[in-house]
Amino acid sequence: MKFFIWIVVFSFLVMIVGFVSAADSLKYVNAVDFELIGKGFTNTQTRYERLPASLEGKTRTPVWELSKDCSGLAIRFRTNSRTIAAKWEVTEDAVMNHFAPSGIKGLDLYCLKSGKWQFVNSARPVGKISNTIIIERLDGKEMEYMLYLPLYDGLTNLEIGVETAATISSPLVDSPRKNKPVVFYGTSITQGGCASRAGMSYPNQLSRMLNRQIVNLGFSGNGQLDLEIAEAMSEIDASCFVIDCMPNLTIEQMNEKYVPFLEIIREKKPTVPILLVEIIPYPHRNFDQSVSPVLQEMNDILTRIYSDQKKKGDRNIYYLKAEKLIGNDSEGTVDGIHLTDLGFWRISQNMYPVIKKLIKNK
C-alpha cells in the first residue's frame, strides 16, 4: 500500500515538473504589444484601468479603487502556436467567499472559429503571480484569439507565452468591432460578480453575441449615479448606454440623482439610445417579506422616471423590465443577489435582442 502511494505521489510530481518545464520553455511576449479592447478612455494612469486619470480625487475613493479592476478588458492577438500560456501579476490578489478565483483574478481565452468566438480554456490563478499553460496540442494553424482579463482584480503585468518558433502578432480581424461600443454602467453584477470565469459576465457575453466591443463601468457596491461618471461616459462615442445600477441605489438616491445622471449624458449624446434596466427579482423575496415591497417601489420610481423623460421629448430612451431577466426558478444567483453563470447567461439572452435592435444602424 505504501509503495502504491509513493507511485501516485511520484507520478503527480513528475506531471507538475513537466508542466512547469513546458511553460518555462516557451517565449513570452508582453501584452502591451497587442491590442487592448473594451477600454473607454485612453488617458488612464496605467494601461489596465477603466477610468480617466482626471477623476482621481474627483470621484469617490471606492469607485476610483474599483476602476483599477480589469472587468471588460481583453487582449486581442493572432498566433500559430500549438501551445498558449500566460504569466500575470494582479494588484490585490483578491479573495472572496462566494466568488471563484478563476472569475476574480483569472484569465479566459477565446478563439475565433467560423466567425464565432468559442471558449478555449481559462488560466487559473495560484496567487498574486501566476504562470500557467492555457492550452496545448493545437493544430498549428494561425488563429485569432481574445484573452479576457480579471473581473475583480487589477493587473501590473501580463505576458503571453507561445512556442519559440511560433509567430504572434496583432489581430487581422476587427472582432468584436471597435466602433461605437456598448457602454454598461452598474453594480457588482455588471462588473461580473460572481461569474466562474471572466468570459461569463453578461457584458462580455453580449460583446461576443453582438460582435461589438463593450465598456464595462460596473463598480461593485458603488453604482450610485455619481455624476462625474456620467460626465465621463458622455465622452465615449457609444452606440448605446445601458444603465443597470438599481441594486446599489436607495429610494432617496433614485429620486435625487437618476434624472441629473441621464441629463448629463443627454447633453452631449442627445440621440444615443439609453436603456434603463429594472432591479432583478431577488429569489429571497419569496421568503423575506421585507424585500418585495422595496423592489416594487424602486421599479415604480424607475417607470415614472422613464415616462417623464419620454414626455419631455426623449425619443431614444428605452426600458427593460427585469421580471424574467434571471429566470423564475430561483436558480440564477450565488447568494440571492450576485449571479451564477446561469443567471448571467439568462440576462445576456434577454438583453441581446433589445440591444441588437438599438444598435442596428450604428
Q: What is the pLDDT of residue 14?
A: 43
**Over residues 280-292, mean pLDDT:** 87
Do residues 189 and 336 both lie within one domain?
Answer: yes
What letter does residue 262 receive in the DSSP assignment?
A: H
The answer, yes or no, to whether the previous bond of 70 is cis (omega within 30 of 0) is no
| pLDDT tens track for 150-171 | 999 999 999 999 999 999 999 9
Among 151, 169, 187, the domain boundary falls at 169
Q: Which residue has the higher pLDDT, 171 or 18?
A: 171
The dihedral over CA atoms of 168, 174, 176, 179, expressed in degrees to the nearest 10, equals 130
Do residues 112 and 192 both lie within one domain?
Answer: no
**Over residues 344-356, mean pLDDT:** 98
The answer, yes or no, to whether the previous bond of 203 is cis (omega within 30 of 0) is no
What contacts 46, CB < 8 A, 6 or more positions away?
156
What letter does residue 92 receive in the DSSP assignment?
A: S
Do residues 218 and 290 both lie within one domain?
Answer: yes
Do residues 207 and 344 both lie within one domain?
Answer: yes
What letter does residue 149 receive in the DSSP assignment?
A: P
- Domain membership flag for residue 11: no
Do residues 185 and 64 both lie within one domain?
Answer: no
Do residues 80 and 57 both lie within one domain?
Answer: yes
**Over residues 8-35, mean pLDDT:** 68
Do residues 63 and 207 both lie within one domain?
Answer: no
Q: What is the pLDDT of residue 19?
A: 45
- Domain membership flag for residue 17: no
Average pLDDT, the chain: 94
C-alpha distance from residue 56 to each of 49, 60, 64, 229, 279 (Å): 12, 8, 6, 12, 29
Q: What is the pLDDT of residue 234?
A: 98
At 107, the amino acid letter reads L
| pLDDT tens track for 233-278 | 999 999 999 999 999 999 999 999 999 999 999 999 999 999 999 9
Residue 331 domain boundaries: 177-358
- Domain membership flag for residue 13: no
Residue 96 corresponds to which cell in the numbers above? 472572496
Q: Is a pLDDT exceeding 90 seen at residue 96?
A: yes
- Domain membership flag for residue 199: yes
**Over residues 45-50, mean pLDDT:** 98
Of the listed ranges 64-73, 286-295, 305-314, the least confidently predicted one is 286-295
| 3-state SS class at 130 | strand
Contact by Cβ (8 Å): 235, 268: yes
Q: Report the share of the chain in percent with pLDDT over 90.
A: 90
Do residues 66 and 136 both lie within one domain?
Answer: yes
Q: Is a pLDDT exceeding 70 seen at residue 22?
A: no
Q: Work out how many domains the chain is built from and give that number.
A: 2
Do residues 149 and 202 both lie within one domain?
Answer: no
**Over residues 1-6, mean pLDDT:** 50
Among 152, 169, 186, the domain boundary falls at 169
- Domain membership flag for residue 237: yes
Q: Is a pLDDT exceeding 70 seen at residue 8?
A: no
- Domain membership flag for residue 4: no
Q: Report the share of the chain in percent with pLDDT over 70.
A: 93
- Domain membership flag for residue 8: no
Do residues 194 and 230 both lie within one domain?
Answer: yes
Q: Residue 216: which of 44, 65, 73 has the closest Cα?
A: 73
Q: What is the pLDDT of residue 290?
A: 85
- Domain membership flag for residue 66: yes
Q: Is a pLDDT exceeding 90 seen at residue 13?
A: no
Do residues 277 and 246 both lie within one domain?
Answer: yes
CATH of residue 65: 2.60.120.260
What contacts 303, CB < 8 A, 6 or more positions away?
319
Helix axes 341-358, 202-210, angle to 10 degrees: 40
Residue 126 banded pLDDT, cuts 50, 70, 90: very high
Among 142, 169, 196, the domain boundary falls at 169
Q: Is a pLDDT exceeding 60 seen at residue 304?
A: yes
Do residues 215 and 345 both lie within one domain?
Answer: yes
**Over residues 84-104, mean pLDDT:** 97
CATH of residue 193: 3.40.50.1110
